Amino acid sequence: MNRMSRVTFIMLCIVSGSASAAKERLPVDVVKYVEQREGCDHFRGEVPDPPDAQRMKEIENEIRKLCTGTDKKLNKLKHKYARNQMVMKRLNEFEENIEPTQRKRS
């Protein structure tokens, strides 16, 4: 799949994810999180075959851009909407603790 096709595919996924989230009438902050996280998860599963150093660099940049802070956001949203079953159902679809832990330097 060429680069333009991949970008088109990703945009369609984001739009369809947004449409389904809107149908569920999720709060705006949850909809934004879902869009970001779905993009993050997409790139987390993207591994070029055959191996391509340039593509891996692009994937790593997208992961850094889309995934950074999502663990904390997910935790905050779950706390905020703990009594909203519809929101919790959607948020519980996401894996927790996907970001690498930062090691403290001695």
Quick one: pLDDT at residue 3? 64
Q: From CA 94, how far away is CA 59, in angstroms rounded? A: 20
The H or E element that residue 13 is part of is helix 3-23
What's the pLDDT at 21? 46
Q: Which residue has the higher pLDDT, 10 or 84?
A: 84
SS3 content of the chain, % helix, strand, coil (to 5): 65, 0, 35
Give tens-digit pLDDT for 31-53. 999 999 999 999 999 988 888 99
For 2, which DSSP code?
-
Residue type, 76: K
Average pLDDT over residues 49-70: 94
Confidence of residue 100 (pLDDT cuts 50, 70, 90): confident
Is 60 exceeded by the pLDDT of residue 104? no
**Average model confidence (pLDDT) for the chain?**
85
